[in-house]
Structure 1
């Protein structure tokens, strides 16, 4: 089977258009069309249904696209390993994690990684949706639960809990709750229980809301919750890893917290030897160790 024709087929299937595939491949539409027809003739089957709005893969085309996608991922991994030298780490690394952890813990620390590897390009994708690592939607993930795919390398980084925090200024003005029922006159800042978040955090929010708290501020990410707390708007439900970088946070009701949430670093087996992945993994582990030391010294672990 002609490798060049397979490359062109993969580009067309991925783009859903001869024109867009041609732009990517720097070929004319007619040249792309000829290669697809030749591939279909060599296989004795039709690979695309042709519609006015574009191309749709046939059942046979889906099978071939699955095979070329697997080939593309393996070639990309091999290319990355070849490009990476023992001394030099460079190129793009796609990292995915949650909005809260990525914005509030990871991003502020990346300057240290760039200082060590100035030619590295990080594509940081922050969303609650779990991206598919084996399908290479991302290279590395930091997730708030253990990955389910068997072909991933995973490393447990730490356990976190959702807890209640306020500023001392707020507590001096509004009073410090001594029990969960004392939260009723305070303003609770949190994510809604039905918003995408870790289950343990949602359960804690549900428990707090059952106290019939009269005033709330709900925000769809922890960055907004943190800003509300630091602005003395009320008492917020926040992950405990924030205390390392926010000394103004004062814990409220030490007996009230969520269950443990495990945090995992994961990446595909095929990227095990990739220098970019190894550099990022080692950086995160070093930062976690520094975070743990700081928590231990502050007595907040």
Structure 2
């Protein structure tokens, strides 16, 4: 096995990521046959098959998967070294890939992001919304906003705020059904909860099914939706009563709080990033921006 040629490896990485010679050729500004040739040459250098070529595109072999993970890390390291070199003393520059949950990211975060991209036009911000947590150690994203304390102890973390749940109903629902005055009243109301399996980071998101009920007989729900945003929309439409986190209801005047004197679940939210990015200016300015927004918001 000869030395791995970085150029071929880079072409392999793009092809593996895009899943076809056509797409990767476009991305690389090469002809399709040139991409195919370079990959065949790399397979020859290694004496191993990296792709199974299907009519529908390229599928990585097991060895291909391993090489892709390594190439992916190398590409990421190279990109961050490049970014560090171009990041002059005062201007944070380069890509910043932020991940968080779909609910939090599509409401609280995207509402505030306009100011950040205006302040830092040289940062290429990308927000990856995913309810399955992307792995920062594997470089699936640079930084994360987690709705719980991070499990990986080596990660740097900064608490942003505490998220509180409240119980809501729309004006139309209340006009038709009245407001519950006690927990027992909920048995006679329509309830919206989170579809199974409910994500652990949302803590006791289905509290309304259980509160004031024996363990073996939860409250019947009218609707389950496996997205906080969907629950909020359903509640807004007057379908029923829902317990929602405050980041999703902050600009929903038609939702009214009910049963305001009950103790409800809450959870902490953290900004998290790997030690390797400790001195990154992009990460620093984004962290400071979030901390400031969090302070303004947590009234």
TM-score (ref. length: structure 1)? 0.78
Q: Aligned pairs, how many?
A: 291
Aligned position for 1:252: 259
- Aligned-pair CA distance for 1:123: 2.6
Q: For residues 80 and 234 of structure 1, do their structure 2 counterparts lie closer, same or farther at Cα, with a shift above 3 Å needed?
A: same
Aligned position for 2:50: 48
Alignment partner of 2:90 out of 63, 78, 87: 87
CA distance in 2, matches of 1:214, 1:119: 51
- Aligned-pair CA distance for 1:283: 1.0
5 Å-filtered alignment, 1:48-127, equals 48=50, 50-53=52-55, 55-58=58-61, 60-127=63-130
Any idea what SS the aligned residue of 1:255 has? coil
- Aligned-pair CA distance for 1:49: 5.1
- Aligned-pair CA distance for 1:41: 4.5
- Aligned-pair CA distance for 1:204: 0.8
Deviation digits for residues 52-89 of structure 1, max 9, x if unmatched?
A: 44555555544433332221110011122223333334
The 8 Å contact of residues 91 and 120 in structure 1, kept in 2 or not, is answered as yes
Q: For residues 35 and 244 of structure 1, do their structure 2 counterparts lie closer, same or farther at Cα, with a shift above 3 Å needed?
A: closer
- Aligned-pair CA distance for 1:36: 3.6
Aligned position for 1:3: 6
CA distance in 1, matches of 2:19, 2:116: 38
Aligned position for 2:38: 35
5 Å-filtered alignment, 1:239-278, equals 239-242=245-248, 245-246=251-252, 249-258=256-265, 260-278=266-284
CA distance in 2, matches of 1:40, 1:177: 68
CA distance in 1, matches of 2:67, 2:227: 41
CA distance in 2, matches of 1:16, 1:169: 49
The 8 Å contact of residues 200 and 261 in structure 1, kept in 2 or not, is answered as yes
Residue segments in structure 2 that go unaligned for 5+ positions in a row: none
The 8 Å contact of residues 108 and 247 in structure 2, kept in 1 or not, is answered as yes
Deviation digits for residues 23-46 of structure 1, max 9, x if unmatched?
A: 332223443344344444444x22
CA distance in 2, matches of 1:242, 1:264: 17
Residue segments in structure 1 that go unaligned for 5+ positions in a row: 296-301
Aligned position for 1:155: 158
**Structure 1, 233-242 or 169-178: larger mean CA deviation:** 169-178
Q: For residues 285 and 167 of structure 1, do their structure 2 counterparts lie closer, same or farther at Cα, with a shift above 3 Å needed?
A: same
Deviation digits for residues 77-135 of structure 1, max 9, x if unmatched?
A: 11222233333345543322222212332222223223322454433333312122233
CA distance in 2, matches of 1:88, 1:4: 30
Q: CA RMSD in A?
A: 3.4
- Aligned-pair CA distance for 1:264: 1.8
Which structure is higher in helix share? 1
Alignment partner of 1:200 out of 203, 228, 236: 203
**Structure 1, 65-74 or 193-202: larger mean CA deviation:** 193-202
**Structure 1, 124-133 or 143-152: larger mean CA deviation:** 143-152
Aligned position for 1:282: 288
CA distance in 2, matches of 1:10, 1:112: 34
Aligned position for 1:23: 26
Aligned position for 1:235: 241
TM-score (ref. length: structure 2)? 0.78
Q: For residues 284 and 68 of structure 1, do their structure 2 counterparts lie closer, same or farther at Cα, with a shift above 3 Å needed?
A: same
The 8 Å contact of residues 95 and 138 in structure 1, kept in 2 or not, is answered as yes
- Aligned-pair CA distance for 1:281: 1.3
CA distance in 1, matches of 2:71, 2:267: 38
